[in-house]
């Protein structure tokens, strides 16, 4: 039976890498359906994403690649399957709603395992889509206690990514470390402009003529993780900060959904504090 | 009691129009909160949108403006109230879903009276939002018969606009004439490029590097009504036509929602086959 | 003889401003060709730019407006005439060259009085256009001495604006104060992201997916003056910082020329640290 | 001595192509500095652009690739050298001027052999840059005669590309056939919208909200050749057609220069009526 896999490889750059990898595919009579490579000159690192099809055993293929490639190589043979995601939100519905509609429409190659929110504002919306909603209020809890409850809840699920769809609380290093490389956030500004609280107010007071949004992996530096996707829209002096916020919502939701789609289709490599997107 | 109104005026351009209008507001002790004017040199036509506040009787104000201005003037004194809209759709959920989420979120200053579709694909989604859904199949009906049933249904409602949220059937002149100036459509191309069927296939075969979407009022020339809003995104040779279609959906929904917002806030004048947007 | 003027007014907002101004125009039988207004709610300030035509004496008109309007009003009656500009540059030719081509093409409504540079790299290019070029080297001079020589030179000319077309030295408060409100700069980033030295290197290391440029009036806060114009372009992981720089040059030159055009046509009001652009 | 080459290959897609090519490079101890591949599923055609470095003889390498690859393969081993271009123009200076400035700045990896124009308007500008200018008036000549003179002139030069920098005459099939695949044009609209004469007037009358420009290879279908690059800018009801034209010039020149840069760096494959851009 013919299978298909996405193969992600990164290792220190060296002569013959493409040759060794393509030889292995050729020897196994596999077809290369798509192939993209990149060498980061600064770190001398080679990145490759290949879609292959043919008859193969994924585990054997992975072990053969391990043998063929240098010791430092990261190799993933990813078989097509719906990834699982947890959404976290607060009160605003635009980013969450956009994902729910795509999910309902089967446009998103993911299963939404749960929505977790620190307010119950969005419960009604989420329930309309028959998706489990968990309201975990932060009232009368320390930040650590609150996150502890969320971590315990998340640990009950199996999931690939946590998507912060306008979750408006800052996460502690403990939380981030718990789910390293798995948390995607949408920041409501064109980072690194307007880091921190209320970027639209900051943008309004600075008098910018363009506003934007940034989807990124979350690391322990506030609004500083590897950027996956960004976009912008023009504004003018007729926009007060709530107008900017309103206009910005469209950018936020599109940028987050685009980043999510890239991640779900295994197109994103993290390279230090940057991303490589195939 | 202090009221607020949007005043829309258009008439042949003449000296003193701004003076006469602002004098009337000044004499009645009204405050001008926002004011935009435009003179279309080609047609010698004056357009003005003013937001006033103060104590006034809307009907008296309108009649006083009628007296003060030339005979050909169109004058609307619009008091703030939620407009009513009917949505028409077929099978795709992205444009419809975007409006439903905004509606649920109270971001849209409108009440959705009904959703009418020629397939039942979207029924489940619409019902999730407790909005009346009417499936009017076109099976075994002539185009005229099918539209007749829809017109009869729509006539039972009071509404301000019909929004074609990816309604994939061409409307007859009879239908359009029935709701002149009230029908807003989203066309899935950057008009006037790729008029007609399957614009994404056309775009793919032409090898364009950018695709777009166009929201416009519907007139009896196919895809030829006054344009309200347009936007685009880049594509490249890696996009087949379904990739373009998928990427295009985001543009379509944002452009339609933006146009709808402009119309609902009375910012759009139709000037022949063009629009003036304040 | 019929004249034309651009009239710029700003004052504290009050009822009847539009009425008083339009009455004056009406009483003098002047035609309003274009008119835009804006009220900044935050500062309660009214801004108006009107283009009038008819028979009038500019000085009398200005004094009549002074009488008709509140004491705090700034009133400018600007008769059409080519403004004069001085360009300052360092070594890069793209922003300067773009202005030179527009000037040669008579697209720019300005006379270039002189180009001043701290290197002689651009001398050949400037001389090709028969424009006076002054090389004022900063070698063996303190910043103050160097600027002193430039100020002395500039004081010999009459000019309306100093345009920093990639002048790569930081100006002292003394210089800026000398030409308050007259200096326009192009900053090679999407401000307020990447303030300071080598924004493209900063952008590269941050891994952004979009880069931009910002034209702004120069004040004594580094890269913090009122923004006139901004634009952006997408980049990706294949861009090293010199690729970003190269791609960015196109944005820089277009944004600067656009800002210059807005300023030369008297479309820009400065409102604190922001601009209003009609 | 270490050399560098750009290798362009296209052939019918087959298993093992990447393997065979990378094996050859590996056996010859060549380094792959950059590599991009694409398979056009519709035509089952494989495209590859590789930058290699090391010790090799270009002719031997090309012949070895010919042996290793299928008979239908097109193979180019391109050694770095400045390409030669001829510019053709009419009266407008913006596109031509942009190329001249880049050329002067050594930003463009090309030598401008000559500028040919059907008017003498641009002679002064071109001479400023010490580039040969040929005014070939079309007065009192048939289209064929006029083109005959130009073809005779061009045949005296060696060049890689003819760049139509707003050359406002339609070329005959004879001319196009003479320089097949070598002519690059900038069309002042977002093709395929507004094909033909005065696109800005067409755009104005259609009331579009966005205008654009398209750089493409010239074929014998008017404005129908493979598109290399496109871009757009927003316009609104305040733009008359000359305003659109003026705003559009910036897009035209940037799009043409970007396309020229892609062609000069051998990044463009023509695939039927489309391009593949690496």
Over the stretch D1-51, which tens digit does the pLDDT of each residue have?
A: 789 999 999 999 999 999 999 999 999 999 999 999 999 999 999 999 999
Residue C83 pLDDT greater than 90, yes or no:
yes
Interchain proximity A15–D26, CB inside 8 Å? yes
Q: Are residues C157 and C210 in the same domain?
A: yes
Q: Are residues D183 and D269 in the same domain?
A: yes
Q: State what percent of residues in chain C have pLDDT above 70.
A: 99
Q: Are residues D19 and D154 in the same domain?
A: no
Residue D161 pLDDT greater than 90, yes or no:
yes
* Residue B224 touches partner A, C-beta closer than 8 Å: no
Interchain proximity A38–C238, CB inside 8 Å? yes
pLDDT by residue, tens only, chain B of 278 residues: 789 999 999 999 999 999 999 999 999 999 999 999 999 999 999 999 999 999 999 999 999 999 999 999 999 999 989 999 999 999 999 999 999 999 998 999 999 999 999 999 999 999 999 999 999 999 999 999 999 999 999 999 999 999 999 999 999 999 999 999 999 999 999 988 998 889 999 999 999 999 999 999 999 876 789 999 999 999 999 999 999 999 999 999 999 999 999 999 999 999 999 999 99
End residue of a domain, out of C29, C45, C78: C78
The reported pLDDT for the residue numbered C220 is 86
ipTM rounded to 2 decimals: 0.94
The reported pLDDT for the residue numbered B133 is 98
Which has the closest alpha carbon to D159: D211, D104, D193, D114? Answer: D114
Which has the closest alpha carbon to C275: C214, C203, C234? Answer: C214
Q: Are residues C69 and C106 in the same domain?
A: no
DSSP code of B191? T
B neighbour chains, 3+ CB pairs within 8 Å: A, C, D
The reported pLDDT for the residue numbered A1 is 78
Which mean pLDDT values do the consecutive 10-residue runs of chain A (278 residues) have?
94 95 96 94 96 96 96 96 97 97 93 98 95 97 96 96 96 94 95 89 95 95 88 97 96 98 97 96
Three-state secondary structure string covering C54-94 = ECCCHHHHHHHHHHHCCCCCEEEEECCCCEEEEEEECCCCH
Q: Are residues C118 and C19 in the same domain?
A: no
Q: Are residues D7 and D68 in the same domain?
A: yes
The reported pLDDT for the residue numbered C197 is 85
The reported pLDDT for the residue numbered C56 is 97
Residue C232 pLDDT greater than 80, yes or no:
yes
Q: Are residues C71 and C118 in the same domain?
A: no
End residue of a domain, out of A49, A78, A107: A78
With beta carbons less than 8 A apart as the criterion, state whether C31 and C56 touch: no
B205 CB neighbours in chain D (<8 A) are: 273
Domain containing residue C271 = 83-277
Q: Are residues D100 and D221 in the same domain?
A: yes
- Determine the longest span between alpha carbons in chain D, in angstroms: 64
How does strand A227-234 pair with strand A268-271?
Answer: unpaired
Strand segments (E) across D41-181: 45-54, 74-78, 83-89, 110-117, 133-135, 161-164
How does strand D268-271 pair with strand D274-277?
Answer: antiparallel
Q: Are residues B162 and B67 in the same domain?
A: no
φ, ψ for residue C214, nearest 5 deg: -135, 125
Which has the closest alpha carbon to D278: A85, A246, A36? Answer: A36
The reported pLDDT for the residue numbered A220 is 86
- From C43's Cα to the closest Cα of chain B, the distance in A is 14
pLDDT in tens, B128-140: 999 999 999 999 9
The DSSP bridge partners found for residue A217 are A184
**Helix B94-104 vs helix A94-104: angle between axes, to the nearest 10 degrees?**
140
Q: Which of C223, C240, C250, C261 is catalytic?
A: C223
| CB-nearest partner of C16 from B26, B34, B35 | B26
- What separation, in Å, do the N-terminal and C-terminal C-alpha atoms of chain C show? 28
End residue of a domain, out of B47, B78, B109: B78
| CB-nearest partner of D227 from B208, B271, B276 | B208
Residue C57 pLDDT greater than 90, yes or no:
yes
pLDDT in tens, C168-218: 999 999 999 999 999 999 999 998 899 888 999 999 999 999 999 999 999
Residue recorded with tokens 């200096």? C183
Q: Alpha-carbon distance D126 to C128, whole Å? A: 10
CATH number of the domain where residue C104 is located: 3.40.50.170
* Interface probe, candidates A97, A99, A243, A252, chain B, greatest B C-beta count within 10 A: A97
The DSSP bridge partners found for residue D3 are D54
Q: Are residues B88 and B134 in the same domain?
A: yes
Domains identified in chain D, total number: 2
pLDDT in tens, D188-216: 999 889 988 899 999 999 999 999 999 99
- Chain D 20-39, residues with CB within 8 Å of chain B CB atoms: 38
Which has the closest alpha carbon to B254: A247, D228, D259, D81? Answer: A247
pLDDT in tens, B193-232: 998 889 999 999 999 999 999 999 999 876 789 999 999 9
Q: Are residues B272 and B181 in the same domain?
A: yes
pTM: 0.96
Can you state the percent helix, strand and coil of chain B, rounding each to 5?
A: 30, 30, 35
- Using CA atoms in the order B133, B136, B137, B138, what is the torsion angle rounded to 10 degrees? -140
Q: Are residues D166 and D239 in the same domain?
A: yes
Residue D60 pLDDT greater than 90, yes or no:
yes
With beta carbons less than 8 A apart as the criterion, state whether C230 and C215 touch: yes
CATH number of the domain where residue B29 is located: 3.30.70.260
């Amino acid at each position: 039976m013919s299978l298909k896999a996405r193969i992600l490889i990164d290792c220190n750059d060296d002569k013959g890498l493409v040759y060794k990898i393509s030889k292995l595919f050729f020897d196994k009579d596999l077809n290369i359906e798509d192939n993209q490579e990149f060498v980061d000159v600064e770190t001398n690192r080679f990145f490759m994403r290949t879609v292959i099809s043919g008859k193969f055993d994924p585990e054997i293929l992975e072990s053969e690649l391990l043998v063929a490639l240098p010791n430092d190589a990261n190799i993933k043979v990813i078989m097509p399957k719906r990834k699982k995601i947890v959404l976290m939100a607060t009160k605003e519905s635009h980013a969450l709603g956009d994902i729910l509609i795509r999910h309902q429409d089967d446009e998103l190659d993911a299963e939404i395992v749960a929505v977790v929110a620190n307010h119950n504002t969005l419960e009604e919306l989420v329930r309309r889509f028959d998706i489990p909603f968990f309201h975990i209020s932060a009232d009368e809890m320390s930040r650590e206690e609150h996150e502890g409850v969320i971590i315990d809840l998340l640990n009950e699920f199996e999931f690939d990514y946590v998507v912060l769809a306008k979750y408006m609380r800052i996460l502690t290093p403990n939380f981030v470390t718990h789910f390293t490389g798995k948390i995607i956030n949408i920041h409501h500004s064109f980072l690194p402009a307007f880091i921190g609280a209320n970027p639209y107010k900051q943008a309004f007071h600075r008098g910018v003529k363009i506003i934007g949004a940034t989807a990124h992996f979350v690391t322990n530096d506030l609004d500083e993780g590897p950027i996956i996707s960004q976009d912008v829209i023009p504004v003018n002096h007729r926009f007060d900060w709530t107008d900017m916020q309103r206009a910005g919502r469209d950018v936020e939701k599109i940028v987050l959904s685009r980043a999510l789609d890239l991640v779900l289709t295994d197109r994103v490599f993290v390279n230090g504090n940057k991303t490589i997107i195939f």
